[in-house]
Amino acid sequence: PDNIKEKELEMQKEDLADKPDNIKEKIVEGRLRKKFEEMALLNQKWLKDEDKTVQEVLKERIAKLGENIVIRRFVRLNLGEGLEKKDNDFAAGVEKELAKYRSDPAEAAPAEAPKEEEKPKEEKPKEEPKDEPKAEGPKISAAQVKELRQRSGAGILDSKKALKESGGDIDKAMEWLKKKGMAKADKKAGNLSVEGVIASYVHFNSKLGVIVEVNSETDFVAINAIFKEFAADVAMQIAANPSIVCVSADEVPADVVEKEKEIEMNKEDLAGKPDNIKEKIVGGRLKKKYEEMALMSQKWLKDEDKTVQEVLKEKVAKLGENIVIRRFQRLVLGEGLEKKEDDFAAGVEKELAKYRN
């Protein structure tokens, strides 16, 4: 699909407008070949020696080690890619951080009235929300906000607003938050500097690797040792459990959902049951299964009395701002490839042959 798109763009360029189709095709073919070569890793200059390409260095390694080497695949995560960053006031950000360490906000500005008015505004988002005193429609309780925050990972104000917009219905509020998140991602304003870190874990034998993006609201938290340690632990958590395929249960891929539902619906113990009963039983089974696939529902490796979700909430409380585990990628060496059963003796003979004159 990308190749087709690139070809269409080239074919429509003004400098080719008056040329015959067969000439157009040849010119576009040449341009695309050059463009695709620029996109390919093997054609790039080698960082350690720009007189060589990656392809040439690969060939050198093959000659030196005596067997084929393949660069099979890679994954790149850019922090905040696809998200829109808010332009925060730097001074306000500093003030917010300092406010966390003040025992009494009123003591910070005893004499200046304007500052006293600003301080409560800064502190307001940090307070646990109370019942809406003058909200139109249903009152939103602190317990509702807390439950929605636990389920969604959203901030206090966003959770409160979602509940207001959804008439206090938590399930509808979840949907509202999802839509809001999607809308932000779709804007793609080009600002990719959302705060947080890309953390990684590579197993000691280099046969398993994980990279994960964990977002924070500010760069003050992104460079904090507690935050960075948490992100590294999350990467290790994902590596330790191959059944994890998504961050939360509502993010299980659609193809997995369809496949799992089909398997459950066709199980023998449901054969004689009416469809409506089947649906309910299968719904319960799938909910449990999806939770087993979700990172947030897993027991925390460093303390199995807690889940990842609970540890995340602890970090949010400790650092004073929202934290989101946004996405991850896992690479397992040789995954999807069929391994040949080599003759061990022949393998030893092959190695010895390298050292014989």
pLDDT tens figures, 321-346: 889 999 999 999 999 887 766 666 67
State whether the Cα torsion 290-294-297-303 is positive or negative.
Answer: positive
pTM score: 0.59
Tell me the three state secondary structure of residue 213. Answer: strand
Give the C-alpha separation, 346 to 356, whole Å. 15
Residue 161 has what pLDDT? 86
CA distance 233 to 44: 34
- Please state, in angstroms and rounded to a whole number, the distance separating the CA atoms of residues 308 and 148: 16
**Counts of helices then strands in the chain (DSSP H, E):** 15, 7
Angle at 331 between CA 325 and CA 337, to 5 degrees: 150
The pLDDT value recorded for residue 191 is 30
Per-residue confidence (pLDDT) for residue 67, from 0 to 100: 93
pLDDT of residue 98: 64
Predicted local confidence at residue 109, as pLDDT = 41
**CATH 1.10.8.10 domain position(s) in the chain:** 93-187
Contact 211, 200 (CB under 8 A): yes
**Which pLDDT does position 100 carry in this prediction?**
59
pLDDT of residue 144: 86
What pLDDT score does 101 carry?
58
Which residues, in sequence order, are CB contacts of 200 under 8 Å at separation 6+? 209, 210, 211, 212, 235
Alpha-carbon distance of 34 to 183, in angstroms, equals 35
Alpha-carbon distance of 123 to 319, in angstroms, equals 14
CA distance 230 to 210: 14
The class level of CATH for 93-187 reads: mainly alpha
What pLDDT was estimated at residue 209? 96
- In the chain, which stretches have pLDDT less than 50? 103-120, 132-135, 182-193
Q: Which amino acid makes up residue 147?
A: E
What pLDDT, on a 0 to 100 scale, did the predictor assign at position 136? 59
Q: Are 128 and 150 in contact (CB under 8 A)?
A: no
- If you search the block for the tokens 């060496």, which residue do you land on? 333
Q: Please, what is the end-to-end C-alpha distance for the chain in angstroms?
A: 52
Question: Looking at residue 262, what is its pLDDT?
Answer: 85
pLDDT in the model for residue 183:
31
Number of neighbouring beta carbons within 10 Å of residue 245: 18
